[in-house]
Chain A
Amino acid sequence: SQQGEEDPQALSIQEGENATMNCSYKTSINNLQWYRQNSGRGLVHLILIRSNEREKHSGRLRVTLDTSKKSSSLLITASRAADTASYFCATDNSGGFKTIFGAGTRLFVKA
Chain B
Amino acid sequence: DVKVTQSSRYLVKRTGEKVFLECVQDMDHENMFWYRQDPGLGLRLIYFSYDVKMKEKGDIPEGYSVSREKKERFSLILESASTNQTSMYLCASSFSYGGQAKNIQYFGAGTRLSVL
Q: Which residues of A contact B (CB under 8 A)?
A: 1-2, 30-31, 33, 40-45, 48, 50, 88, 90, 92, 96-104
Contacts and interface: CB of A to CB of B under 8 A. Distances in A.
B56 A42 contact: no
B100 A31 contact: yes
A31 to B, nearest CB: 6
B107 interface: yes
B31 to A, nearest CB: 7
A86 to B, nearest CB: 10
Contacts of B94: 96
B103 A40 contact: no
A43 B58 CA distance: 19
Interface of B: 4, 31, 35, 40-43, 45, 48, 50, 56, 58-59, 90, 92, 94, 96, 100, 102-110, 112
Contact of B41 (A41, A100, A103): A103
Contacts of A90: 105
Contacts of A97: 31, 48, 50, 56
Contacts of B92: 42-43
A44 to B, nearest CB: 7
A31 B99 CA distance: 11
B90 A43 contact: yes
Contacts of A88: 42-43
B78 to A, nearest CB: 20
A100 B33 CA distance: 12
Given A42-B90, A104-B42, A96 B102 contact: yes
A40 B90 CA distance: 11
Contacts of B109: 41-42
Given A1-B59, A42-B108, A96 B103 contact: yes
